[in-house]
Amino acid sequence: MSRTKVRASTRANLSEQAYLAIRDRILHGQLTMGSVLSRRRLATDLGMSMLPVCAAIQRLENEGLVESKPRVGTRVRVPTEQDVREQYIIREALECQAVRLVVERATMQQRQELVRMADQLDALYRRTATDHAPEFLFAKHGYHMQLHMRIAEFSGVSALRELIEKNSVLVWNWLYDLVAPQSAHPSRFHADLIDAVTGTDVEAAEQAMRKHIEFGEEDTISVVARGGTNPESRWRMRGSPVEEQAPVPVSIETHP
């Protein structure tokens, strides 16, 4: 391999590491909505040059997780009420189609895997009542995302799975969970969903997914709406800008 290709590959790897590290900070709640992102500070914390960090932030901006505003700079995006509603609409459309296909196409082994994952996820949600440790909550959200991506995968349509992942609708749902007060979930919240998804009734599966996605939607929208008149101050209350935070150890691992 030529030196040029080696350098290009190294830059790509560093950009990917920076992307995962910054995204993990956002999903851990270490960088809250509205937190200002200092490229120089991030580069120092990550032990790399500005170039891969800038590439990573550009990718996050393209995905809608980061935004640049005049006189504000670059920050973790602050959603509007319309943003939240649109994300729920997109997620509902994509995931309802996915479960329809799962009912028709999933193998017995795939169905059994979904049942097992749903039971494990419900156990994690029950534990949330007493365990509020950030690492546990991060792991719970990561496993929740894995279950939904498994459903998308078992639809048998790779383009649909890619759309769900590319649109970051599950990541946004994760972020909304970090700021919205969470209603108590039924003890079989995910098991009941998967019972319908692994059944034989396509309409019942779609209705179950629709109900699942809509759970807590209005609470989340209400929180965003209340902060809408002055979102900057509201989001700041949940965490200081990165420039004011002590450096945090960065993990480049991610939980899909």
User: Could you tell me the CATH number of the domain that includes residue 50?
Assistant: 1.10.10.10
Pair 174, 237 in one domain: no
Does a structural domain hold residue 210?
yes
State residue 234's pLDDT score. 46
Average pLDDT over residues 16-38: 88
Average pLDDT over residues 177-187: 74
Residue 118 structural domain: 81-223
Pair 85, 209 in one domain: yes
Bridge partner residues of 74 (DSSP): 68
Bridge partner residues of 18 (DSSP): none
Does a structural domain hold residue 120?
yes
Specify the higher pLDDT residue, 250 or 148.
148
pTM for the model stands at 0.75
Pair 216, 235 in one domain: no
Does a structural domain hold residue 211?
yes
| Count of domains observed in the chain | 2
Q: Which two tokens stand for residue 150?
A: 């498994």
State residue 10's pLDDT score. 60
Whether 193 and 118 have beta carbons less than 8 Å apart is answered as yes
Q: Which phi and psi (to 5°) does residue 36 adopt?
A: -75, 140
Pair 219, 106 in one domain: yes
CATH number for the domain spanning 142: value is 1.20.120.530
Pair 74, 118 in one domain: no
Listed in sequence order, the DSSP H helices in 29-107 are 39-46, 50-62, 81-105
Pair 94, 166 in one domain: yes
Q: Which phi and psi (to 5°) does residue 184 adopt?
A: -65, 130
Pair 92, 211 in one domain: yes
Q: Is the pLDDT of residue 197 over 70?
A: yes
pLDDT tens digit sequence for 118-145: 999 999 999 988 888 888 888 888 899 8
Does a structural domain hold residue 256?
no
Q: Are strands 73-76 and 66-69 parallel, antiparallel or unpaired?
A: antiparallel
Q: How confident is the model at residue 94 (pLDDT cuts 50, 70, 90)?
A: very high
State residue 242's pLDDT score. 35
Pair 107, 75 in one domain: no
Q: How confident is the model at residue 83 (pLDDT cuts 50, 70, 90)?
A: confident
Q: Is the pLDDT of residue 57 over 90?
A: yes
State residue 205's pLDDT score. 98
Pair 94, 136 in one domain: yes
Pair 9, 36 in one domain: yes
CA–CA separation, 19 and 187 (whole Å): 35
Least confident of 2-11, 165-174, 176-185, 237-246: 237-246
State residue 201's pLDDT score. 98
Q: What is the mean pLDDT of the chain?
A: 82
Pair 102, 211 in one domain: yes
Does a structural domain hold residue 250?
no
pLDDT tens digit sequence for 233-253: 344 334 333 333 333 333 323
Does a structural domain hold residue 185?
yes
Does a structural domain hold residue 217?
yes
Pair 185, 97 in one domain: yes
Does a structural domain hold residue 249?
no
**Amino acid, single-letter form, for residue 142:** G
